[in-house]
């Protein structure tokens, strides 16, 4: 079992240290015997502040190095194969000298251990039951992989509670693939480990016992590490906490049975028991929705893009019932209005790419196109999400495509702008630049205008890809140019905002204090843009004179949208602002739980936008009151789009999925 003694430590990385010229250390968020976990900023995500957890493994004793590094690499390989909302996503694995690093999704929040300690009195029983259901769900996922995975060290210190009170497992360092013929080493945490684990017998029932110990700890606030092993019966739950029901107490003690065969036979069985207990109390899981999905053999579809039809399964198909717990409702902050909230619509279909979707989709006719960080661009049928074709590039695709009807244009981080024939996905031409293309191309009168990280704004002919001209700014251009009144308007990462003629000649230049990553919008001889300096700017389109500025709570990369006399824009403070276009005065604001990095979509009297708090929001356009919020499993930086008939809304998420939602009347 784990000991409290640790070997002599070595120097930690200082804040500001950069690894691979990509990960910048911010601070230390955890330490272990041979590992340190840092919070770091991923510099490859210039359009938003993206944090990662950087787990460092270093070994002082040479004779231990091979074994420890092998275990660390095993953890990286293990996590890379898993996809579950309660398991951090692994982004990268590398070594620097005698240290190995694992780059993981950064989970905001506190450990469950800390939550238990900081909660006055006892945790509410319903909360403990809901969290127990979540833990059963992720354990069931691990235990039912083609090669089952045993976590082996489930305890409150290895569970994070996010700001929206979801649970996420951390520290897979000793998780292991299950082999019924093999005994393991005696490893785990005293108090949470069952008797057979001390003998090296590792089965899924080890995790069932540890879950029971965790629930006991939550209900009683008695840390089992400070008590004799296997002594839970000596600390009756209801004697310590009389508010606990006899049914829940009995359920916990069944999970803690000394003999494995007397416990729940699986995490799924324990989950059903917890759900039944919650329903008997007359309080179903908050925000839970149940849907039936047709499935295919996992070994046949692993790693392949697929569409999930959320309607009724066809005859003969296997079905799988999924329960999705939605976070609590977001608080609305507004200056007026009494909008009544309604239930979020359910997807008509979803499509899973192989990696994150960071940019907006494009609807052209009966097809919807979307790029992914898996290097591909996908063409899907609007009606049902069926894959028509996908085209690989040499880098992540983080730009929204553009089209004139026959060709599809998009940039890639491989440094090229692509022109692809919509009918058969044939590449008609590729235009090379000297840096990643992260700016969405703007199509106007047979010319494509787009920026590159090589510091240039380019103008190329749409039919041939021939360069017409380029304008050097000296630093990356990620702002999509606005074409208005025979002029181009765009910004760069040095905070410069330019006005050019359509022939590429400079008319005027304005200097903001920080990068202008957003794309401008314009109306009535005024151009609007935002900056990472936290300002919304309104400039006279002809002269570049400042008409007004509005200071937001934080900087932004979100592009403003003009609509009927108002400007709508989000920021890194998690707020969506509605400003009067003429004066810059605020009309209303709406608060989300995290950054708003995308733009808004306005359809009649409703406004739609996403947030990196994982939600797509629908607001009343007039007063900013929330109508509904749809939860995904990842941040949203894209802007929602609709089809021509305005029947469906499409939004991509970092959870790899493109969602097609009905536009409600």
Question: What beta strand segments (E) does 201-249 contain?
Answer: none
Please enumerate, as own/partner, the contacts of 269-276 that have beta carbons within 8 Å and a separation of 24 or more: 270/132, 270/136, 270/208, 270/211, 271/133, 271/136, 271/137, 271/140, 274/129, 274/132, 274/133, 274/136, 275/133
Residue-wise pLDDT tens digits, 505-562: 999 999 998 999 999 999 989 999 999 999 999 999 999 988 999 999 889 999 999 9
Ordered by start, the domain boundaries in the chain are 18-105, 110-286, 288-360+566-575+586-665
- The third-level CATH classification (topology) of the domain covering 18-105 is Phosphorylase Kinase; domain 1 (3.30.200)
With bands split at pLDDT 50, 70 and 90, how would you rate the model's confidence at 81? confident
Q: How confident is the model over 337-360, as a mean pLDDT? A: 82
Tell me if 110-286 shares its fold with 288-360+566-575+586-665.
no
Residue-wise pLDDT tens digits, 386-403: 999 999 999 999 999 999
Say whether pLDDT at 340 is over 60: no
Q: Does domain 110-286 fall into CATH 3.40.50.150?
A: no
Residue-wise pLDDT tens digits, 282-327: 543 433 333 333 332 322 223 323 333 333 223 332 222 223 332 3
How much is the pLDDT for 47?
65
Burial class (CB in 10 A: 0-12, 13-18, 19+), 483: middle
With bands split at pLDDT 50, 70 and 90, how would you rate the model's confidence at 626? very high
Q: How confident is the model over 123-136, as a mean pLDDT? A: 95
Q: Does domain 288-360+566-575+586-665 fall into CATH 2.102.10.10?
A: no
Token duo for residue 648: 């469906």
Kind of pairing, strands 362-364 and 367-371?
antiparallel
Say whether pLDDT at 33 is over 70: no
With bands split at pLDDT 50, 70 and 90, how would you rate the model's confidence at 419? very high
Its pTM stands at 0.54
How much is the pLDDT for 215?
98
Q: Reading across the β-sheet that carries 535-540, which strands appear in turn?
A: 521-523, 526-530, 535-540, 546-551
Average pLDDT of the residues of the chain = 84
How much is the pLDDT for 635?
93
Share of the chain above pLDDT 90, in %: 65
Residue-wise pLDDT tens digits, 236-289: 999 999 999 999 999 999 999 999 999 999 999 999 999 888 877 654 343 333
CA-nearest of 132, 313, 271 to 211 is: 132
How much is the pLDDT for 524?
82
DSSP label of 233: G
Residue-wise pLDDT tens digits, 581-610: 999 999 999 999 999 999 999 999 999 999
How much is the pLDDT for 326?
29
CA 554 to chain centre: 20
CA distances, 591 to each of 333, 586, 661 (Å) = 6, 14, 23
Query: Are 410 and 441 contacting, i.e. CB atoms less than 8 angstroms apart?
Result: yes
Token duo for residue 468: 């017409």
Please enumerate, as own/partner, the contacts of 420-425 that have beta carbons within 8 Å and a separation of 24 or more: 420/377, 420/391, 422/364, 422/367, 422/379, 424/389, 425/379, 425/389, 425/390, 425/391
């Amino acid at each position: 079992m784990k000991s409290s003694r640790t070997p002599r430590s070595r120097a930690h990385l200082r804040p500001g240290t950069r690894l691979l010229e990509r990960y910048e250390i911010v601070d230390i968020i955890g330490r272990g015997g041979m590992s340190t976990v840092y919070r770091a900023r991923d510099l490859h995500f210039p359009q938003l502040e993206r944090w990662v957890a950087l787990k460092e493994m270093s070994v002082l004793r040479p004779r231990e190095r091979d074994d420890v590094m092998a275990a660390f690499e095993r953890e990286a390989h293990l996590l890379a194969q898993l996809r579950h909302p309660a398991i951090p996503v692994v982004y990268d694995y590398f070594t620097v000298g005698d240290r190995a690093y694992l780059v993981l999704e950064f989970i905001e929040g506190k450990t469950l251990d800390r939550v238990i300690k900081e909660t006055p009195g006892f945790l509410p029983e319903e909360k403990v039951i809901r969290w127990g259901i979540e833990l059963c769900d992720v354990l069931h996922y691990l235990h039912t992989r083609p090669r089952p995975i045993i976590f082996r060290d489930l305890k409150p210190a290895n569970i994070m509670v996010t700001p929206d009170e979801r649970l996420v497992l951390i520290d897979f360092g000793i998780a292991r693939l299950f082999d019924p013929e093999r005994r393991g080493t005696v490893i785990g945490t005293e108090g949470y480990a069952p008797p057979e684990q001390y003998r090296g017998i590792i089965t899924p029932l080890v995790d069932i016992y540890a879950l029971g110990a965790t629930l006991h700890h939550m209900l009683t606030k008695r840390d089992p590490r400070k008590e004799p092993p296997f002594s839970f019966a000596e600390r009756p739950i209801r004697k310590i906490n009389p508010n606990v029901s006899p049914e829940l107490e009995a359920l916990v003690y069944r999970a803690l049975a000394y003999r494995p065969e007397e416990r729940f036979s699986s995490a799924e069985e324990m989950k059903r028991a917890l759900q039944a207990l919650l329903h008997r109390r007359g309080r179903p899981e908050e925000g839970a929705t149940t849907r039936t999905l047709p499935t295919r053999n996992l070994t046949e579809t692993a790693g392949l893009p697929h569409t999930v039809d959320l309607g009724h399964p066809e005859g003969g198909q296997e079905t799988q019932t999924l329960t999705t717990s939605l976070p609590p409702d977001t608080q609305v902050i507004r200056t007026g209005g009494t909008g009544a909230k309604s239930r979020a619509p359910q997807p008509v279909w979803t499509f899973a790419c192989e990696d994150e979707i960071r940019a907006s989709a494009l609807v052209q006719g009966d097809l919807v196109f979307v790029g992914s960080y898996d290097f591909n661009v996908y063409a899907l049928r609007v009606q049902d999400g069926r894959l028509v074709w996908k085209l690989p590039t040499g880098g992540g695709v983080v730009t929204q495509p553009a089209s004139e009807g026959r060709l599809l244009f998009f940039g890639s981080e491989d440094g090229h702008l692509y022109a692809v024939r919509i009918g058969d996905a044939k590449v008609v031409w590729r235009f090379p630049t000297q840096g990643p293309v992260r700016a969405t191309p703007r199509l106007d009168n047979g010319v494509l205008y787009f920026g590159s990280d090589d510091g240039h704004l380019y103008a190329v002919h749409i039919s041939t890809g021939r360069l017409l001209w380029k304008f050097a700014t000296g630093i990356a251009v990620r702002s999509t140019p606005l074409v208005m009144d025979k002029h181009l308007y765009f910004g760069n990462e040095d905070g410069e905002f330019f006005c050019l003629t359509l022939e590429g000649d400079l008319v005027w230049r304005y200097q903001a204090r920080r990068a202008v990553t957003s794309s401008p919008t314009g109306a009535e001889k005024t151009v609007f843009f935002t900056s990472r300096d936290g300002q919304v700017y309104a400039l006279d389109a002809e002269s570049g004179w400042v008409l007004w500025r509005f200071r937001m709570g934080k900087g932004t990369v979100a592009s403003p949208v003009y609509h009927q006399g108002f400007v709508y824009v989000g920021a890194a403070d998690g707020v969506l602002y509605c400003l009067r276009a003429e004066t810059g005065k605020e009309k209303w604001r709406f608060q989300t739980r995290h950054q708003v990095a995308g733009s808004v979509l306005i359809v009649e009297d409703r406004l739609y936008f996403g947030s990196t708090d994982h939600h797509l929001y629908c607001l009343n356009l007039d007063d900013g009151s929330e109508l509904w919020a749809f939860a995904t499993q990842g941040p949203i930086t894209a802007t929602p789009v609709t089809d021509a008939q305005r029947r469906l809304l499409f939004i991509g998420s970092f959870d790899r999925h493109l969602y097609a939602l009905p536009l409600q009347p």
